[in-house]
Amino acid sequence: MSGKRIVIVGGDKDLLALARGQLKLDGHELIEARDCRQTLDLLQRSPHDLLIADCRAPLWDMKFLAGIREEYPETALVAVTASQATKASIEAIRLGAYECHADPLNSEVFRLVVNRALEHLGLREQIQALRGSLDRGYSLEGVVGQCGAIVHVRQTAAEAAQTESPVMIRGEVGTGKRFLARTIHFNGRRSDNPFLSLHCGAIPAEGLESELFGHIKGSFAGATSHKKGKAEMANQGSLFLEAIEDLPAALQHKLLRLLREGVIQKVGSRNTTQVGTRIITASNRNLKALVEDGKFSEDLYYRLSVIPLELPPLRERSEDIPLLARHFFSQSKRNHGRPELVLPESLMHRFSSYRWPGNVRELEEVIDRVVALCTGGRVMERDLPAFLQKERPPLDVLNMELPAKGISLEAVEKALILGALKKFDWNQSHAARYLGLSRKTLIYRMEKYRFHKPEVPANTGPELNSAPITAQEAAPQESV
């Protein structure tokens, strides 16, 4: 423990002698104040880590300590009292001071109490530093991008952070839903309170209720003690529910009650518990379609999506890829201790021409791998993964002619996806690989466009249709 600045006030000659011997021996700077007025002067002129107050004097006023605690909350307190049962002792504990009994005054006990107070001060400073790093790590500037969709997301997230309303984030796998949820929390009123997350699809249904709402002892086999659920643990903070579409119907009703009434009911309990937890949810599925199909509660959907946010896939904002690549490159250089490494501008087209089926997460991981494995001071093309070194096929391989009256990009995407599915007899893995997408991304798009494998009549095989996409298929329709 490095030396600290300690001020002592009101000490008799025995206490002062003990403090001079012990504290200076431990490398601390000790300043002696005659009275409360001089102590305040010292604290106003410069910060002190610890105040030792001798509360045994007949005219000692505990209001002085209360004022110190209010005006200088970063200064740790040690109160020297005559015994445990005195009024001064009780008040010192109430103010959060470390107490040292002087009946009799023991050098080892005194040193132990002072060290504990300083250790607690160190822990508090570490927590503040970590909180500061979290705040910096989840600033709104971390939502990198200049395309219209991302600018809108950033603006809406800034507004959402200052409210208490539920937020629903939608986007494909790897688009940054968890980062955005944390950003909203750490830039809002609840930033000093817990942020907890729970993946609704990662826990078996029978254990999910306990994990979310808690349980009481004996409520089921293995429930040997009471347990708080994450909805209660995040009280006055935020609870981020990933893959909300996987929440079972019974728990959807319980979550709806939390949003309506602000109460939860633990497994096995007849009573309810009041909580003030903000709910942020995320999904890579089309929840509106699930509602229409009767697979998700309509009431819950509208309660959760008071503030909806849509994160676009990286292939739809290719203009942001160079920005993101440079951002992740700077981060990775710092993490790996390689400030001299250079990423040439001439390689940016390799990143921009790839479709990034894993979205922002995949780009970040690729950049980190390049930084970690590059042996020179400059990233070369040979340092890139093999799939980035390949030349992308030109547009004319699709045999498309652009119609004179205009074209719908959404219609092009629909036609491409449908054509690939037909080409591979609706095999999702093969179609996704052909399109340069992940299978999850393809499923997301199929749900968006309501694509389903057609029913095949008995004793007949499906017809394969691998015909090239025509301009008529890609042209805008009346409903677009």
Q: Looking at the structure, tell me whether residues 172 and 235 fall in a common domain.
A: yes
3-state DSSP call for residue 254?
A: helix
Burial of 132 (0-12, 13-18, 19+ CB in 10 A): exposed
pLDDT band at 474 (very low <50, low <70, confident <90, very high): very low
Read off the tokens for 99: 């107490």
Q: Looking at the structure, tell me whether residues 277 and 154 fall in a common domain.
A: yes
Q: Looking at the structure, tell me whether residues 304 and 346 fall in a common domain.
A: no
As a whole number, mean pLDDT of residues 160-185 equals 95
Q: Give the Cα separation of 118 and 283 in Å (integer).
A: 46
Q: Please state, in angstroms and as integers, the Cα–Cα distance from residue 153 to each residue in 146, 308, 315, 359, following that order.
A: 11, 9, 17, 16
Q: Looking at the structure, tell me whether residues 143 and 291 fall in a common domain.
A: yes
As a whole number, mean pLDDT of residues 38-60 equals 81
Return the CATH number at 62: 3.40.50.2300
So what's the pLDDT on residue 69?
Answer: 80
Within a domain: 10: yes
pLDDT band at 171 (very low <50, low <70, confident <90, very high): very high
More confident residue, 442 or 379: 379
Within a domain: 479: no
Q: Looking at the structure, tell me whether residues 372 and 280 fall in a common domain.
A: no
Residue 103 has pLDDT above 70, yes or no: no
Residue 126 has pLDDT above 80, yes or no: no
Residue 470 has pLDDT above 80, yes or no: no
Lowest mean pLDDT among 171-175, 222-226, 361-365, 457-461: 457-461
Q: Looking at the structure, tell me whether residues 186 and 306 fall in a common domain.
A: yes
So what's the pLDDT on residue 480?
Answer: 30
Domain that holds residue 189: 139-311
pLDDT band at 170 (very low <50, low <70, confident <90, very high): very high
Q: Looking at the structure, tell me whether residues 369 and 437 fall in a common domain.
A: no
pLDDT band at 192 (very low <50, low <70, confident <90, very high): confident
Q: Looking at the structure, tell me whether residues 165 and 252 fall in a common domain.
A: yes
So what's the pLDDT on residue 318?
Answer: 92
Place of tokens 């400059």: 378
Q: Looking at the structure, tell me whether residues 9 and 51 fall in a common domain.
A: yes
The proportion of the chain whose per-residue pLDDT surpasses 90, expressed as a percent, equals 46
Q: Looking at the structure, tell me whether residues 297 and 383 fall in a common domain.
A: no
Lowest mean pLDDT among 28-42, 186-200, 320-334: 28-42
Q: Looking at the structure, tell me whether residues 160 and 304 fall in a common domain.
A: yes
So what's the pLDDT on residue 71?
Answer: 80
Given CA atoms 55, 89, 95, 21 in this order, what sign does their dihedral have? positive
Identify the bridge partners of residue 197 per DSSP, sorted by sequence position: 240
Phi, psi of 217 (to 5 degrees): -60, 135
pLDDT band at 467 (very low <50, low <70, confident <90, very high): very low
Helical spans, DSSP H, in 310-426: 321-336, 348-352, 359-373, 386-389, 409-423
- The residue out of 133, 152, 175 marking a domain boundary is 133
So what's the pLDDT on residue 309?
Answer: 97
- The pLDDT tens digits of the residues spanning 200-250 come to 999 988 899 999 999 988 888 888 888 889 999 999 999 999 999 999 999
Question: Which of 116-130, 390-404, 416-430 ranks highest by mean pLDDT?
Answer: 416-430
The pLDDT mean for the chain works out to 85
Q: Give the Cα separation of 174 and 328 in Å (integer).
A: 14
- The residue out of 332, 366, 389 marking a domain boundary is 389
pLDDT band at 465 (very low <50, low <70, confident <90, very high): very low
pTM confidence score: 0.64
Place of tokens 């659920």: 229
Q: Looking at the structure, tell me whether residues 194 and 343 fall in a common domain.
A: no
So what's the pLDDT on residue 158?
Answer: 95
Return the CATH number at 382: 1.10.8.60
- The residue out of 277, 311, 345 marking a domain boundary is 311
Identify the bridge partners of residue 309 per DSSP, sorted by sequence position: 169
Within a domain: 480: no
Place of tokens 């909805």: 231
So what's the pLDDT on residue 432?
Answer: 86
Domain total in the chain: 4
